């Protein structure tokens, strides 16, 4: 890339766009953001040495072009599949990937740490954070800016501003950025003008005098004020599809001292009409036909069902409010937002704020429903404890994508919410296994229960189990005498499948379905343990803090002499990217894996976590 001239580079940019469209339409993945960042990535690779300099992508889903340029083109057909190429930066994949990424807004803080390490070790390299305007809505980004500005460390923050988060970006800063526009010619002029004045002593005095006027003009014209007040040198806005100008600015930014912010305007979906027109539809795609485009219809899945259910409840109760952290469509709230705009809050990528705001709403008599992916709720753990649970406030957490979620990988699996939510005093954790149960549990969460309540449901669709058991009770889904399989949520389908396979081998398995992960209804559990003496608890969460661990402790404290007890979960691991079914199989959570574990248990061999 460094060797290509200004005629060859746009050709390469076109080739990259065609490649992305061809491949991502087959594998699925993040399309629109990557189409938008082609020239910016090329310019970064022209100016920086990505093996030595540290380029930190934030959120990280826009790293495909970078991957193509760093030797990973041939692996693109395996994108996001088990043992294939990750859809996010991964240092274990390439020295050019500076840091693991997947959750928004951390890049500036990481850049601060890297720049500090460079100074302390007396080394010499550049540190560059590439952050989207969506990611810049997260509080952590401001903590980073605040520190970076006063640290004086040389680093570059590139603000990739396309006006979009997944949907249109929200909030005061987004408005501020979009209000201000100016011409890049300003900086070329500034450099020449400075060189001219610096030649003589009189010139230098004149420069200082004019500088004050110029600064005032600049603040009126550019969105510089905010960043400069934080201690950054602000450059831009620059057309993010003009390779020569981008290259010029990156080179200029390198020569500046202290922290520099380069503001770049890009078009999300650039080069593919359909994605340019509706970029949110092409943010994250499954495989699709390039000619026909992605269907705007939302498939019927747990998220869609949640949205329908909450909308129904909210039409009968005007205290119900919905809060999302920049995920309105993905969590199924689009119709709710249309129907009840005054009670709908998209707060930007700000999970911490979402939870604390819910605390305020609840304290003053509203019923907030914080709708958030399990993995992103991790951000707001202290707010759950401090701003909700301590005061026993009635906040409902609709925890979407709970459990193994698949192709986004380690950073996105919902494998921690059961341990971290069930530890919180006052918290009820409901686990629907079907759409009907989701409806019923949401109704109870909003209208019946008190204090903090989480309803956790998986990505995707319900399975063969479509009934609606009483959530207050541990339900016996199948009687059996040799072994008890205990589970909750969508995994009941895998347990039911395993019971069939075991039956074919002459093993009689009983299936218990928990309605809640906290508090536990223990009566049926204890009864089953006493009768079969062998129990397997199936979960797709980490082992420590799992329900299985609590059940094990319960059986011990009740002095039930077990012949075998297995916690069949993901152990203490981070689950990589891949299809959910492939990951279930790898962790022994599918019907076949559970069957094998149950057979081992009966043979007295225990299981992986037994
Ligand atoms: C903490 C956190 N919350 C939510 C998300 C989900 N998410 C992924 S990308 C994205 C939008 C990012 O917008 P922006 O940074 O502007 O990048 P663009 O895709 O527009 O280039 C969101 C909300 C996330 N990755 N991390």
Across the range 240-255, mean pLDDT stands at 97
What mean pLDDT do residues 363-387 have? 98
- Residue 208: band (very low, low, confident or very high) from pLDDT cuts 50, 70, 90: low
Cross-strand bridge partners of residue 324 = 346, 371
Strand 428-430 and strand 516-518: pairing?
A: antiparallel
Does residue 170 line the site of ligand 1, with CB under 6 A? Answer: no
436 beta partners: none
Segment 351-377 shows an average pLDDT of 98
Instruction: Single out the residue of 43, 531, 16, 24 nearest to residue 249, CA to CA.
Output: 43
Burial 113-134 (b: 16+ CB within 10 A, else e): ebbeebeeeeeeebbbbbbbbb
Q: What is the pLDDT of residue 298?
A: 85
Name the residue at shortest CA distance from atom 19 of ligand 1. 33
Give the residue-averaged pLDDT of 232-251: 96
**Looking at residues 482-489, what average pLDDT do you find?**
98
Model pLDDT for residues 535-565, shown as the tens digit of each residue: 999 999 999 999 999 999 999 999 999 999 9
Predicted local distance difference test score (pLDDT) of residue 225: 87
Identify whether the C-beta of residue 422 lies closer than 8 Å to the C-beta of residue 488: no
CA of 164 to the centre of ligand 1 (A): 9
In this structure, the residue with its CA closest to atom 25 of ligand 1 is 103
User: At residue 289, does pLDDT exceed 60?
Assistant: yes
For the ranges 210-214, 279-283, 535-539, the lowest mean pLDDT is seen at 210-214
| Ligand 1: centre distance to CA 170 (Å) | 12
Question: CA-CA-CA-CA torsion for 68, 69, 72, 75, nearest 10 degrees?
Answer: 20
161 lines ligand 1 (CB under 6 A): no
pLDDT at 204 over 80: no
pLDDT over threshold 70, residue 606: no
Closest C-alpha to ligand 1, atom 23: 326
Percentage above 90 pLDDT, the chain: 88
Given this model, what pLDDT does residue 173 score? 82
Tokens of 104: 């928004």
For residues 199-225, give the mean pLDDT: 69
Question: What mean pLDDT do residues 63-75 have?
Answer: 98
Q: What is the model's pLDDT at position 182?
A: 44
User: Is the CB of 135 inside a 6 Å radius of any atom of ligand 1?
Assistant: yes
Binned at pLDDT 50, 70 and 90, residue 219 comes out as low
- The per-residue pLDDT for 177 is 83
Strands laid side by side in the 259-265 sheet: 54-58, 127-132, 155-161, 259-265, 233-239
540, 541, 542, 548 alpha-carbon torsion, rounded to 10°: -80
Whole-number average pLDDT of the chain: 94
φ, ψ of residue 549 in degrees (nearest 5): -65, -40
- Mean pLDDT, range 71-96, rounded to an integer: 98
Q: How many A from CA of 135 to the centre of ligand 1? A: 6
Averaged pLDDT for residues 35-46: 98
* Distance between Cα 76 and ligand 1 center (Å): 22
pLDDT of residue 195: 67
Residue 456 Cα, ligand 1 centroid: separation in angstroms? 22
Query: Mean of the pLDDT values across residues 413-420?
Result: 98
Is-contact 69 270, C-beta < 8 A?
no
Residues 6+ away with beta carbon under 8 Å from 248: 188
pLDDT exceeds 60 at position 362:
yes
**Residues 165-195: pLDDT tens digits?**
998 988 888 888 876 544 445 555 566 666 6
pLDDT of 209 strictly over 70: no
Whole-number pLDDT of residue 178: 74
Question: Which of 183-197, 409-423, 576-590 is predicted with the least confidence, judged by mean pLDDT?
Answer: 183-197
**Residue 43, ligand 1, Cβ within 6 A:** no
CB 159 less than 6 A from any atom of ligand 1? no
Please tell me the distance between residue 169's alpha carbon and the centre of ligand 1 in angstroms.
10
Which residue(s) pair with 322 in the sheet? 344, 369
Q: Is 132 in the pocket of ligand 1 (CB under 6 A)?
A: yes
Note the pLDDT of residue 181: 45
pLDDT of residue 31 exceeding 60: yes
Ligand 1 probe mutation, 135, 168, 401, most atoms within 8 A of CB: 135
Q: Which residues are the active-site residues?
A: 268, 351, 379
Q: Is 590 in the pocket of ligand 1 (CB under 6 A)?
A: no
Q: What is the pLDDT of residues 513-524, one digit of tens each?
A: 999 999 999 999
């Amino acid at each position: 890339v460094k060797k290509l001239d200004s005629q060859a580079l746009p050709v390469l940019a076109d080739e990259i766009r065609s490649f992305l469209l061809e491949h991502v339409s087959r594998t699925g993945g993040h399309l629109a953001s990557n189409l938008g960042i082609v020239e910016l990535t090329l310019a970064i690779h022209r100016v920086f040495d990505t093996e030595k300099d540290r380029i930190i992508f934030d959120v990280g889903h826009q790293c495909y072009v970078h991957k193509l340029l760093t030797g990973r083109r041939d692996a693109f057909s395996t994108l996001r599949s088990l043992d294939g190429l990750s859809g996010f930066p991964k240092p274990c994949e390439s020295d050019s990937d500076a840091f693991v990424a997947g959750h928004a807004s951390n890049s500036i803080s990481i850049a601060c740490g890297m720049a500090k390490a460079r100074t302390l070790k007396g080394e010499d390299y550049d540190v560059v954070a590439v952050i989207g305007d969506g990611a810049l809505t997260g509080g952590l980004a401001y903590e980073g800016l605040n520190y970076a500005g006063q640290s004086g460390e040389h680093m570059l923050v590139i603000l990739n501003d396309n006006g979009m988060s997944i949907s249109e970006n929200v909030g005061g800063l987004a408005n501020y950025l979009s209000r201000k526009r100016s011409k890049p010619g300003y900086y070329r002029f500034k450099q020449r003008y400075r060189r001219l004045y610096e030649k003589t002593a009189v010139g230098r005095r004149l420069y200082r005098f004019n500088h004050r006027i110029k600064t005032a003009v600049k603040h009126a014209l550019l969105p510089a004020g905010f960043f400069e007040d934080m201690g950054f040198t602000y450059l831009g806005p620059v057309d993010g599809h003009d390779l020569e100008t981008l290259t010029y600015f990156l080179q200029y930014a390198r020569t500046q001292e202290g922290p520099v912010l380069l503001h770049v305007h890009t078009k999300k979906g650039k080069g593919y009409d359909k994605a340019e027109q509706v970029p949110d539809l092409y943010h994250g795609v499954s495989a699709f036909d390039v000619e026909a485009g992605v269907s705007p219809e939302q498939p019927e899945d747990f998220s869609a069902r949640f949205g329908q259910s909450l909308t129904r409840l909210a039409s009968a109760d005007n205290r119900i409010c919905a809060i999302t952290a920049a995920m309105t469509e993905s969590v199924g709230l689009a119709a709710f937002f249309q129907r009840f705009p005054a009670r709908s809050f998209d707060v930007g990528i700000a999970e911490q704020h979402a939870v604390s705001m819910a605390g305020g709403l609840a304290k003053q008599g509203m019923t907030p429903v914080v709708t958030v992916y399990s993995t992103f709720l991790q951000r707001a753990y202290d707010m759950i404890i401090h701003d909700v649970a301590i005061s026993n406030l009635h906040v409902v957490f609709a925890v979407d994508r709970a459990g193994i979620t698949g192709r986004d990988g380690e950073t996105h699996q919902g494998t921690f919410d059961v341990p971290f939510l069930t530890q919180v005093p006052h918290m009820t954790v409901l686990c629907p296994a079907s759409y009907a149960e989701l409806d019923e549990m949401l109704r109870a969460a909003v209208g019946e229960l008190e204090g903090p309540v989480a309803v956790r449901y998986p990505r995707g669709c319900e399975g063969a189990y479509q009934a609606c058991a009483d959530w207050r009770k541990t339900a016996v889904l199948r009687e059996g005498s040799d072994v008890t399989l205990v589970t909750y949520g969508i995994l009941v389908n895998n347990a039911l499948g395993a019971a069939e396979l075991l039956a074919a081998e002459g093993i009689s398995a009983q299936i218990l379905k928990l309605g809640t992960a906290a508090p536990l209804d223990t009566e049926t559990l204890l009864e089953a343990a006493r009768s079969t003496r062998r129990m397997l608890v199936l979960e797709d969460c980490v082992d420590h803090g799992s329900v299985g661990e609590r059940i094990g402790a319960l059986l011990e404290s009740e002095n039930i002499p077990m012949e075998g007890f297995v916690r069949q979960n993901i152990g203490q691991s981070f689950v990589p990217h891949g299809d959910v079914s492939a990951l279930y199989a790898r962790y022994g959570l599918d019907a076949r894996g559970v069957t094998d574990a149950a057979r081992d248990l009966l043979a007295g061999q225990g299981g992986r976590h037994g």
